[in-house]
Amino acid sequence: MSHDDFKFEPIRGLPEQLPADEHILWQGSPAPRHLAREALNLRWVAGYFGLLAVWRVEVSSADFSLGVSLMHGLPFVVAGLIACGILYGIAYVQARSTVYTLTNKRVAMRIGAALTMTLNLPYTWIGTAKLDLKPSGNGTLAFELIGDTRVSYLMTWPHVRPWYMSRTQPALRCIPDATTVARIFAQAAETRISEPRVERITEHGSNAIAAE
């Protein structure tokens, strides 16, 4: 029997219905394998345990036969497989619980495996976006926020640009076909920011209309 952990969402990835003038342009999630490799350093962990296994075999070979030396290195291989399995499991759960959404007005990020939250980033809050594109076509699109807008690095990890802690940059991590997603974002953000905004101001005791 299938079970939807996010059945309470009126729209997948969003906590509420969209306003009448807002619509979804794209939705996606991180690729688990790439998330495990880039955010959780799966390759480094595998390499570390591999080096330990080789070292143990070399040390043992001075006093034992090759077959026995290989057996001495086996526990490190098993430990490495378990560690990598745990990391991939974390990445899979994170990817499964994450939904990135681009609308014509904002970036929305439903993130968090244990404690789920939705991060809303209007395009007017975003100064620049940087795309880290990999040869496979997967990539990370990070957003540099302007003004006094702040987000917590720890609360939003791994959905952030790595190592940018003082000015956290939320990011769409390890998304497939990242070039297309970046193009959709750029077009939507440019359209949204170029729209005139009308505000009512008071000038010399009278009402005036100012267009921005």
| 7 assigned to some structural domain | no
What pLDDT score does 31 carry? 95
Distance of CA 125 to the CA centre of its chain: 18
Task: Based on the fold, state whether residues 85 and 120 are members of the same structural domain.
Answer: no
What pLDDT score does 66 carry? 85
What pLDDT score does 61 carry? 86
What pLDDT score does 202 carry? 52
What are the φ/ψ torsions at residue 61 (nearest 5 degrees)?
-65, -15
| 103 assigned to some structural domain | no
Structural domain count of the chain: 2
The answer to whether 61 and 31 are in contact (CB under 8 A) is: no
Question: Using CA atoms, how far apart are residues 29 and 149, in angstroms rounded to an integer?
Answer: 24
Strand, helix or coil for residue 170: strand
What pLDDT score does 138 carry? 93
Q: Whole domain around residue 72: which residue ranges?
A: 36-93
| 13 assigned to some structural domain | no
| 159 assigned to some structural domain | yes
Domain end, chosen from 48, 67, 93, is at 93
Q: Which residues touch 39 (CB under 8 Å, ≥6 apart)? A: 91, 158, 162, 173, 174
What pLDDT score does 25 carry? 95
Task: Based on the fold, state whether residues 127 and 178 are members of the same structural domain.
Answer: yes
Q: Which token pair is 161?
A: 């640009």
Task: Based on the fold, state whether residues 78 and 143 are members of the same structural domain.
Answer: no
| 184 assigned to some structural domain | yes
**Per-run averaged pLDDT (10 residues), the chain, 212 residues:** 51 87 94 94 95 93 86 93 96 94 95 86 92 92 89 91 90 95 93 68 46 39
Local structure of residue 11 (DSSP, 8 states)? B
What pLDDT score does 198 carry? 58
What pLDDT score does 195 carry? 66
Q: How far apart are the first and last CA of the chain?
A: 53
What pLDDT score does 149 carry? 81
Task: Based on the fold, state whether residues 133 and 183 are members of the same structural domain.
Answer: yes
